[in-house]
A and B are shown apart, each in its own frame.
Chain A
Amino acid sequence: MEIILAIAIGVLCSCGVFLMLRPRTFQVIIGLSLLSYAVNLFIFAMGRLTVGGVPVISHGDIDPSHYADPVPQALVLTAIVIGFAMTALFLVVLLAARGLTGTDHVDGRER
């Protein structure tokens, strides 16, 4: 499972970085979205991978390694919300730039 997740994060991340370095605003925004997926999965993985682990620890003498770490789950939720809002905002600016400059090049002019 670790290797599959690692490959998934790696592929998402490399595609995201590649697209982010492209000259079209649409490619940049797709790149940023892919990168945000990679980052979210990565945060999730930082809480250690457990299969079928319960997220909440009850009282008493128990072994916490049987439980999923709840903190990265909370973090990833925050990160998803913030990343989504920022991408939406970027989309608006992208449209404004397209309208004002007449091109979808990131510098506002073709070369």
Chain B
Amino acid sequence: MNSLMDHLIILPILLPMATGAFLLMFDDRQRTAKALINVTSTFMLLVIAVFMVMQASTQGPEGAAVASYAVGNWPVPFGIVLVADRLSAMMVLLTAILGVSALMYSLARWHAAGPSFHSLFQFLLMGLCGAFLTGDVFNLFVFFEVMLAASYGLMLHGLGSARVKAGLHYIAVNLAASFLFLIGASLIYGVTGTLNMADLAAKVAMIPEADRGLLEAGAAILGLAFLLKAGMWPLGFWLPTTYAAASAPVAAVFAIMTKVGIYAVLRISTLAFGADAGASAEFGQTVLLVGGMASIAFGAIGVLASQTTARLAGYCVLVSSGTLLGAIGMGNAGVTSGALYYLVVSTLAISAFFLLVELLDRVRAEGAHVLAITLEAYGDDEEEAEEEVGVAIPGALAMLSISFGLCVLLLAGLPPLAGFLAKFSIISAMVNPDGLTEATPIGAASWWMAGLMIFSGFSALISLTRTGINTFWVTMAERPAPVRVIEMAPVILLLSLTVALTILAGPAMDYMHALADTLYASADQVSQVLATPLVVDTVAGAH
């Protein structure tokens, strides 16, 4: 094992770590140099992520190797193992895409709004990639903390009392969640004697009946920590305020942080509590299903009730999380593959929307009398000084309204874009749980879930249309919208990716189906990860 490709899995962690640390050595006045290094590194991360997805998609569901890497040359299950299957590779790619676009956007002005933005940004990417790649429960905790520590800094980026207030709540809630994570992880270790996810999957079925309660309690407490990140009702009240208060590029990257929680839930529940788990099989699925549905309902009502566009976007995150959790709670490979497609599409769309929110507010700056009255009634006393920003590009308003229209279509799940395809594939798999050829009775849960998904789309449509009218029709902008190319480009990049996903829905869904199949039949993967070869073969010589 000598070529760089063999060490591909660890690169998405090492590269941001090295870049972030290197950037700390620069003074904040050398902003251009820092930005240049950061952009280069993030683009390299994107290239690595594309390689990882290409490598992962050659892994067949029937037994071709899952890429795994024994960190520090410690044999599995004693050391930490990194695992890149289709799901991890896809999430790393999504992280890199959001990273590139948010970074481009921040170069317009946000990166200069406070110290150490570039380092924190890279550390956030490191934490995210690490959380997606690790195959060890405690290592997952460490990467969660790396991600959260960077996110605390980024959350406060730009300061202002609204950000500090929201940041205070965000940090307190997430610190409490970290303690829950530790309690859950140590309970699981106490019962099973392992922290390696693959080893855990192999051992869960062998746990004696007397200890099963402790194991499930540990898993439930661990799940609470994940669901709090994912923003499941009633654990997600912190989310809309925090995301609305964060600066636009930061909120755009934060769009994937809720997905880390969902990724962890999906990973642990399919590995440790899959079909092979004996008496613990399908543990907690009802909670996910009911909690997911409650989050959709809460998010949809929040979307309708939001007074500001940023809060609206925050509630869209909750709806997206709820849909995903509910779909995972169904425990059906078909539904999950639809949900994973939805995950990619909704993350891209919400991220683009968070970037658009700031641009829309800029357009609306002078003509928002309609909203101003209601805002006053609700005591939003934050007056942001609006200064002229950047050079206007011609046709900016048209570009903005087209992008906004695409966002509406994606978030509300209307045809012809990918948002519709995603919701359609979830609902279609729910009403045909055994495939299209088998006639099976449709459960009550599927009806409720489908109804709620359609209701949430409808509420998003109403609310976003209202926002669109208030922004583009009420405001008679006499001057062209002050939007710079570098701010518009990432939005267009993200939206064109969703259009590409719409056109290439066939190959994308094939990938998701293969992914979901391996998730629900994880025995192969578990044995492959447990048989991870050492990076450097020293053991043979030592004995």
Contacts and interface: CB of A to CB of B under 8 A. Distances in A.
Nearest to A40: B182
Contact of B186 (A32, A42, A97, A106): A42
A82 B145 contact: yes
Interface residues of A, number: 33
Given A46-B189, A71-B189, A79 B172 contact: no
Task: Pick from A32, A43, A82, A93 the residue with the most CB of B within 10 Å.
Answer: A93
B127 to A, nearest CB: 12
Contacts of B148: 86
B126 interface: no
B168 A94 contact: yes
Interface string B202-229: 0000000000000000000000000000
A108 interface: yes
Contacts of A107: 165
B152 A32 contact: no
Contacts of A100: 159-161, 164-165
Given A86-B145, A86-B149, A106-B169, A71 B164 contact: no
B511 to A, nearest CB: 35
Given A32-B175, A32-B176, A90-B172, A79 B164 contact: no
Nearest to A29: B172
Contacts, number: 87
Interface string A1-43: 0000000000000000000100001001000100110010011
A102 to B, nearest CB: 10
B186 A93 contact: no
Contacts of B149: 85-86, 89
Given A75-B186, A108-B165, 13 more contacts: A32-B175, A35-B176, A36-B179, A42-B183, A83-B178, A85-B149, A86-B145, A89-B149, A90-B172, A93-B164, A94-B168, A100-B165, A101-B165
Nearest to B171: A90
B178 A71 contact: no
B182 A25 contact: no
A54 interface: no
Given A89-B171, A93-B171, A78 B142 contact: yes
Interface in B140-182: 142, 145, 148-149, 152, 156, 159-161, 164-165, 167-169, 171-172, 175-176, 178-179, 182
18 contacts: A25-B168, A32-B172, A32-B179, A35-B179, A39-B179, A39-B182, A42-B182, A46-B190, A72-B186, A75-B185, A89-B152, A90-B172, A90-B175, A93-B164, A100-B160, A100-B164, A108-B164, A108-B168
B167 A93 contact: yes
Contact of B176 (A20, A79, A106, A108): A20
A18 to B, nearest CB: 13
Interface string B229-248: 00000000000000000000
Nearest to A20: B176
